[in-house]
């Protein structure tokens, strides 16, 4: 009996202990989430930028996918010392530079454009740049913060203007402005390989201001004489990944609709920005009319540059930068565009460029077309050797766009390496398939979006709906809608797959997981329109931009006004519909968007501004569904 009483007493003690333990765990978790909610949730009494910064600091810290530098492998050993890791990274970044061959003759350039005017800077312009500075940006080697420059813009503007003008006149750049602190950012692959960390250069803010002025003037010159090739959509006004993809996929679907095979070669430059030889770049600048004091200043900007890797407060030794432009500078991207501007002239096939992302493609009607495309590949290899660049054949591949049962097959070769033939290829974040089906892309983005949503459910268990809604829109919905004007689905199966992700997110934001809860009510409560409505609105918005020349897509090349006169059933911007016999062309961007566009009321089409058009279209589509 005594033993039974003792056993019963122990059981009650254990049960009581477990109850107290579980209670403490619940209260600890609740206290943690309450504390977190107080820190990161949006509050009208606190400056929005501060809340956003804390929110994103928390999210990035929880992701832990690209923070810090892991132990790096060097000579077969893993190195964990911060100073040594900085040295390893600096040696890696220095190894990819292209040493200048001073005895090499410059290649012949056929063009010779008029000279651009010398740049003169005004105090008013400098003050405007100072006032537009983002105070959250990191400082460069001179340690002058943007906050000070912005706060005392009126007092500093005259002095900086004098320095800027003298720097341009004399073709001289201060030594601090030619230094860079390099921050390594992990890309993908094995974290112990230094080559998998991207170098981002932090340069002096004052120098960046002058770079902005130089870039603006050079772009005006390039635009005046239409020097940059039209197929280049990177780092250019009115152009983006979306404009590039819309025009490319329209051409591919048109060919497919006409039973014409299109072979694409997706090319990958190896360390493109770092390999540009300075003297050859300056030769091209001179050829395009960028001469005089501007060319002298650019030459001084590139000459005798040094960089050091800064990692967790430790800095490596300084190493010279003998080629390329610093990644993170303002001028660097424009210089790269100018350097590869003549690449399309070396081939007879079509090219598409977005900075260093390059596609070579051609209609294939018989085997001779394959041979021509191969010849163009050889020409690109010759161009690469001539100008000191380097393709990475192992990362290049070929894709044939066709639905034919007996397509033309050809094994393309680049620099002696047989390119891999694939059924799907990723270009500018979009998965293009051999039959122009968007199922592989939709599968990829929904998988990624659901993983991110799961991450939020685990790491953002707070009550505030506004913050959770903001997290969903920023991290999940942005993935589901990236360039959706290009790939918007027409089958109910794919539409439902996308909508299911948003419906799961609605349950998460409202914290209503019971199976009897109405998700439609949740969506109405959150004021979230369906993704299909948003995609149609985005397509119409893009068509509005094209019609009003707000993007660099010529409307005359893609849409045609109807031949009949204006009637009560159409509006002033009514477009001729496309003749289609296949769904993949019928529901592509231009054919499908034009049909919806023609059905819009006159009051929406004649909206006086883009923002007004967006609002009217969103309301119209929401009320129509």
Phi first, then psi: what are they for 591, rounded to 5°? -60, -45
Residue 551, classed as helix, strand or coil, is coil
Q: What token pair was written down for 237? A: 């006004």
Residue 429, classed as helix, strand or coil, is coil
Q: What is the CA radius of gyration of the chain?
A: 29
According to DSSP, the residues that pair with 63 across neighbouring strands are: none
Distances (CA, A) of 360 to 255, 376, 412, 553: 15, 8, 12, 20
3-state secondary structure 307-361: EEEEECCEECCCEEECECCCCCCCHHHHHHHHHCCCHHHHCCCEEEEECCEEEEE
Burial class (CB in 10 A: 0-12, 13-18, 19+), 323: buried
Residue 364, classed as helix, strand or coil, is strand
Mean pLDDT for the stretch of residues 375-402: 93
For residues 246 and 432, what is the distance between their CA atoms, to the nearest angstrom? 12
For residues 402 and 408, what is the distance between their CA atoms, to the nearest angstrom? 9
According to DSSP, the residues that pair with 198 across neighbouring strands are: 185
3-state secondary structure 163-231: HHHHHHHHCCCCHHHHEEEEEEEECCCCCCCHHHEEEEEECCHHHHHHHHHHHHHHHHHHHHCCCCCCC
Residue 4: pLDDT above 90?
A: no
Confidence band (pLDDT; 50, 70, 90) for 611?
very high
Residue 41: pLDDT above 90?
A: no
Confidence band (pLDDT; 50, 70, 90) for 361?
very high
Mean pLDDT for the stretch of residues 536-548: 96
Q: What percent of the chain has pLDDT over 90?
A: 72
Burial class (CB in 10 A: 0-12, 13-18, 19+), 11: exposed
Contact 388, 277 (CB under 8 A): yes
For residues 197 and 266, what is the distance between their CA atoms, to the nearest angstrom? 23
Confidence band (pLDDT; 50, 70, 90) for 266?
very high
Q: Mean pLDDT in the chain?
A: 90
Residue 620: pLDDT above 70?
A: yes
Distances (CA, A) of 236 to 231, 276, 288: 11, 20, 17
For residues 167 and 204, what is the distance between their CA atoms, to the nearest angstrom? 15
Q: What token pair was written down for 136? A: 């959250």
Mean pLDDT for the stretch of residues 495-516: 95
What is the model's pLDDT at position 58?
81
Contact 269, 358 (CB under 8 A): yes
Confidence band (pLDDT; 50, 70, 90) for 53?
confident
Contact 488, 592 (CB under 8 A): yes
What is the model's pLDDT at position 568?
61
For residues 134 and 53, what is the distance between their CA atoms, to the nearest angstrom? 13
Burial class (CB in 10 A: 0-12, 13-18, 19+), 40: buried
pTM for this model (two decimals): 0.91
Residue 383: pLDDT above 80?
A: yes
Angle between helix 205-224 and helix 153-170 axes, rounded to 10 deg: 60
What is the model's pLDDT at position 2?
53
What is the model's pLDDT at position 558?
92
According to DSSP, the residues that pair with 351 across neighbouring strands are: 360
Residue 191, classed as helix, strand or coil, is coil
Residue 320 makes CB contacts below 8 A (sequence gap 6+) with 94, 304, 305, 306
For residues 240 and 222, what is the distance between their CA atoms, to the nearest angstrom? 18
Q: What token pair was written down for 473? A: 């829109």
What is the model's pLDDT at position 7?
60
Q: Which of 442, 453, 457 is nearest to 476 (CA)?
A: 453
What is the model's pLDDT at position 305?
94
């Amino acid at each position: 009996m005594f033993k039974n009483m003792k056993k019963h007493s122990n059981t009650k003690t254990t049960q009581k202990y477990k109850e107290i333990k579980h209670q403490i765990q619940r209260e600890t978790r609740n206290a943690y989430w309450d504390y977190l909610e107080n820190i990161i949730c949006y509050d009208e009494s606190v400056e929005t930028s501060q809340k956003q910064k804390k929110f994103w600091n928390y999210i990035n810290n929880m992701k832990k996918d690209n923070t810090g530098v892991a132990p790096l492998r060097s000579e077969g050993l893993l190195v964990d010392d911060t100073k040594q890791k900085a040295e390893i990274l600096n040696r890696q970044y220095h190894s990819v530079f292209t040493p200048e061959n001073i005895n090499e003759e410059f290649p012949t350039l056929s063009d010779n454009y008029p000279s651009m005017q010398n740049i003169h800077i005004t105090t008013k312009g400098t003050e405007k740049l100072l006032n537009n500075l983002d105070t959250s940006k990191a400082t460069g080697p001179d340690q002058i913060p943007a906050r000070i420059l912005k706060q005392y813009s009126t007092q500093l503007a005259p002095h900086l203007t004098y320095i800027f003008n003298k720097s341009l006149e004399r073709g001289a750049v201060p030594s601090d402005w030619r230094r860079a602190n390099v921050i390594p950012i992990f890309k993908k692959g094995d974290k112990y390989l230094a080559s998998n960390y991207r170098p981002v250069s932090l340069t002096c803010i004052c120098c960046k201001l002058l770079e902005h002025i130089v870039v603006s003037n050079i772009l005006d010159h390039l635009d005046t004489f239409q020097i940059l090739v039209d197929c280049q959509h990177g780092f250019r006004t009115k152009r983006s990944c979306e404009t590039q993809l819309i025009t490319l996929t329209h051409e591919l679907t048109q060919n497919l609709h006409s039973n014409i095979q299109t072979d694409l070669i997706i090319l990958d430059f190896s360390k493109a920005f770092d390999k540009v030889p300075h003297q050859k770049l300056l030769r091209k600048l001179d050829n395009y009319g960028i001469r005089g004091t501007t060319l002298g200043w650019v030459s001084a900007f590139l000459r005798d540059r040094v960089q050091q890797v800064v990692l967790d407060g430790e800095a490596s030794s300084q190493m010279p930068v003998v080629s390329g432009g610093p990644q993170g500078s303002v001028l660097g991207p424009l210089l790269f565009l100018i350097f590869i501007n003549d690449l399309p002239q070396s081939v007879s096939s079509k090219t598409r460029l977005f900075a260093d992302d390059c596609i070579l493609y051609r209609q294939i009607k018989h085997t001779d077309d394959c041979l021509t495309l191969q010849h163009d590949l050889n020409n690109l290899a010759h161009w690469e050797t001539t100008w000191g660049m380097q393709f990475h054949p192992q990362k290049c591949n070929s894709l044939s766009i066709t639905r034919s049962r007996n397509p033309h097959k050809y094994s393309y070769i680049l620099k002696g390496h047989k390119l891999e033939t694939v059924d799907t290829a990723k270009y500018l974040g979009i998965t293009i398939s051999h039959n122009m089906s968007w199922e592989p892309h939709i599968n990829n983005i929904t998988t990624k979006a659901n993983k991110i949503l799961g991450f939020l459910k685990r790491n953002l268990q707070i009550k505030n709906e506004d913050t959770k809604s903001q997290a969903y829109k920023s991290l999940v919905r942005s993935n589901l809608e990236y360039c959706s004007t290009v790939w918007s689905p027409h089958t109910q199966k794919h539409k439902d797959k996308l909508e299911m992700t948003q419906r799961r997110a609605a349950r998460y934001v409202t914290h209503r997981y019971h199976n009897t809860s109405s998700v439609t009510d949740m969506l109405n409560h959150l004021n979230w329109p369906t993704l299909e409505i948003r995609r149609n609105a985005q397509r119409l918005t893009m068509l509005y931009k094209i019609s009003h020349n707000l993007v660099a897509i010529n409307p005359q090349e893609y849409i045609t006004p109807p031949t009949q006169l204006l009637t009560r059933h159409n509006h002033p911007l009514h477009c001729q519909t496309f003749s289609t016999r296949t769904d993949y062309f019928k529901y592509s961007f231009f054919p499908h968007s034009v049909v919806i566009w023609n059905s819009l009321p006159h009051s929406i089409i004649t909206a006086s501004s883009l923002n007004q058009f967006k609002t009217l279209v969103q309301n119209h589509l929401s009320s129509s569904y």
